[in-house]
Chain A
Amino acid sequence: MTDQTAHRKLSFRILRYNPQENGSTPRLQRYELEEADGMTLFIALNEIREQQDPSLQFDFVCRAGICGSCGMMINGRPGLACRTLTRNLPPEITLAPLPIFELIGDLSVNTGRWMRDLGERLETWVHMKAGELDLGHIEETMDPDLAEQIYLLDRCIECGCCVAACGTARMREDFVGAVGLSKIARFRLDPRDARTDADYYELIGDDDGVFGCMSLLACHDVCPKNLPLKTQIAFLRRKIAAVGIK
């Protein structure tokens, strides 16, 4: 079969800035590209780098919407570039790095460091009750529905889209974001974690935590994994507020 459809000319405007390079200043750079069938921003950006501009920086790893590396502002909205098909975009495509995070260069930001800091602050691991495990014995049981509920919150890929879309994060440097709050919601659900709401209050019971959220909830709209952030944040705020009132 031959391809009968004429391909569009795509015009990319990409925010370029390399803080490592002396004299580099932020600017929008234009690239033209012929669209191809099934073209994603992953394919398009690689083509631009290979054929037009070897200095262009961006991050992809799995290119399958699983790893969370490629969050960027796509026509002003945070999203995963790898699974964004160009055919769903107008011919003018503006790409910029996610705000809030430290800029590595061009479209590449340091979400890794931000998420590691968050993990350390909120202690985002199961705080086990017992000491040494006996691995020879049958595992503890868990209700199948509860396991699935935990997994639904565990699906967060730490892409940073919710933070980039967050009004509070713009104003409060240390705000934990929807990613942080949904992680706490996840561990609250998990009976393997020995922590109580009083412990969680110490972690997120302030304006950098659950009380900082202004309920603008763009996080909910942009989450690539459709995590139930809206309900989780509201629920968590009620539970944590209850601790504060006591």
Chain B
Amino acid sequence: MRIIYTDVLVIGGGLAGLRMAIAARRRGHEAIILSLVPAKRSHSKAAQGGMQASLGNVIKGQGDSEDVHFEDTVRGGDWGADQEVVRMFVNTAPKAVRELAAWGVPWSRVRKGDREVIINGQKVTITERDAAHGLVAQRDFGGTKKWRTCYVADGTGHAMITAIADQAIAASIPVHEHNEALALIHDSGRCYGAVVRDLVSGELTAYVAKATALATGGAGRLYRVTTNAVICEGIGQAIALETGVATLGNMEAVQFHPTGIFPAGILVTEGCRGDGGLLRDADGHRFMPDYEPEKRELASRDVVSRRMEEHIARGKGAKSRFGDHLWLDITLLGEHHIRHNLREVYEICHYFLGVDPVKEWIPVRAAQHYTMGGVRTGPTGESPNLKGLFAAGEAACWDMHGFNRLGGNSVAETVVAGMIVGEFIGDFCDRPENDINIPTAVVHDYLEREQARLSALLTGRGTEDAVALRVAMQEIMTAKVGIFRRGKDLEQAVDELQQLLVRSRDIGVRYRAAGANPELVTAYRTQRMLKLALTVAYGALARSESRGAHYREDFPRRNDAEWLKRTLASWSNESDTLPTLTYEALDVRRMELPPGWRGYGARDHIHHPDTATREKEVEALKAKLASSDRFAVQQALMPYEQLLPPRLRGRNERIDDRS
């Protein structure tokens, strides 16, 4: 058994992992990235529509700022987010876009003069400013007051990961492809790396590091219908959970994207609606304005997905052999726009549906899309419970999305969190007390434990079929822990998942090769996924309110009085069949934006007792500082800049500042 030493072990080769590794490398630390697949094939690649950053270059973005982005994000998350972290994020996002612009991302650019766009189903002519010509362009997205989403046609994630992965090559950062972390090595509340399996040879290696960073993405594959890549199985969160020390935050917060193509669940971007596309029902009727007169198709994703399912439940879905669906109509955008700005959408429709979106409507239905929950960290990205364990991106819950993420905020988060957390990892590795001091005997124990687990699967007499267990789990999650949730269903889901978990301890494999063995991989991942599914279902059962994407039919109101708190799940003993849930209250008295109505969706909620007081305080402060600039007001309401790494502080210039 081998041991490899490094300063920083990054688990996951997507945008967040690559960017953290680059940051650490620039700080003079050695970094190794582990990746299941070649880094450029990570699921970051599939981000289509764009990344939010309040550059305000386009005319419809004029007046945008960190403040507006902050409020949109907090409202979008239904006040579940950590507002300080949201502030850190919105202030860094423009810097991230500009860094990527310098690194070669071919952002779509503003062209000065008149152009025709579709807004609310109507053709409108808008005029872009001369001063904006050639700057990074923005498009409209759901849940935003301004056009803020910077994009590269509809291949934004692809262009971003190409540039960042190539920067990692330039920095000589090794990516150990086809390698999977099976367990985190930890001792006395300190993380020291991971036991890693080579997916080709089957060999186990211990990677021992000062800092270990999880960037393994989401857990969409807990569900039957998901936009997520097949590797998005939540294994990063699961191995953090299996330490028994680290906690997972808000795992019940799961996003369903309104426009997965039906029935395959492949994503077509929110940019379709942002650019003017409409949702239609079986009768061809545009139904969203009936439900959401203010934001229509561009309410937040949780709201649009619920409205779509509601409409289908009323019998308005189009019928097909595979079930009911609705239609996404982008024909009104015209061929030129679709062939230039929605190329991937065009290809997906062509290849998977045989549909020409220039002329025909696209069959869509909501599909699992994003995991708001993840490894709980503080604003530095470090686990509060397990020193030396960092997490960033979709795998993490630091927590900027609350209970619903806005479109364009996740691909932005990957890079922003990578920049911020990467700096804090640099700080961590700089401190001499964080040198590696773990005895090799402990490392060998971990290696032997994992080897024994694999051997038990390979040579044991288990009789359970991993594929069958996984399919059963996905069916339960989709049917009972989906868009609409009820206590009774959730109780059943928790019971059934527990039974599956117990059965998963008796999985056997038919193909017994120790090396490349897809069946073995399915077996050990399914065992871990079931634990993760239980954190989702059990957290959803316990949360007797509706907030963001977590919607309880039996508790339809948001209940700030009882539930303005973050769920923390841990797995105390290997023999347990349920996670242990604890809660972490959000402090209304420190919020820059006290809880209120989101501007779309349900209007009634149960107030937190501190909300009224805080609202008055905020109003009084704003009145008192009426003659000050927005930065001074913000600073008075909720100072946050001290939380950012020094090199990422500072204001973001806009063209309006130049005039």
Contact = CB atoms under 8 A, between A and B. Distances in A.
Interface of A: 1-3, 18, 20-21, 37-38, 40, 49-50, 54-57, 59-69, 83, 85, 104-105, 108, 110-113, 115-116, 119-120, 123-126, 128, 133, 135-144, 147-148, 150-151, 154-155, 157-158, 187, 190, 192-193
A78 to B, nearest CB: 16
A219 B166 CA distance: 23
A229 to B, nearest CB: 17
30 contacts: A18-B515, A20-B513, A20-B516, A38-B263, A38-B352, A50-B467, A55-B511, A55-B517, A55-B519, A61-B43, A61-B229, A63-B229, A63-B230, A63-B266, A67-B42, A67-B45, A85-B351, A104-B200, A105-B200, A112-B175, A112-B178, A136-B653, A138-B658, A139-B101, A140-B102, A142-B107, A142-B134, A143-B134, A144-B111, A192-B104
Contacts of A85: 351-352, 354
A1 B229 CA distance: 30
A190 B104 contact: yes
B106 A115 contact: no
A155 B177 contact: no
A120 B46 CA distance: 24
A137 B650 CA distance: 10
B351 A111 contact: no
B67 interface: no
A156 to B, nearest CB: 8
Given A57-B516, A136-B653, A148-B340, A141 B135 contact: yes
Contact of A112 (B38, B106, B201, B517): B38
Given A61-B37, A61-B43, A141-B133, A119 B166 contact: yes
Contact of B513 (A21, A59, A155): A21
A138 B655 CA distance: 7
Nearest to B172: A120
Interface residues of B, number: 82
Contacts of B175: 112, 116
Most interface-central of A54, A56, A124 (chain B CB within 10 A): A54
Nearest to B202: A20
B230 A40 contact: no
A144 B152 CA distance: 11
Interface in B163-187: 163, 166-167, 169-170, 175, 177-178
Most interface-central of B107, B351, B510, B648 (chain A CB within 10 A): B351
Contacts of B38: 69, 111-112, 115-116, 158
B264 interface: yes
A134 to B, nearest CB: 9
A55 B513 contact: yes
B395 interface: no
Contact of A141 (B97, B104, B109, B322): B109
B104 A112 contact: no
Contacts of A112: 37-39, 41, 175, 177-178
A56 B319 CA distance: 36
B321 interface: yes
Contact of A116 (B169, B348, B516): B169
A151 B106 contact: yes
Contact of A147 (B107, B201, B652): B107
A140 B104 CA distance: 11
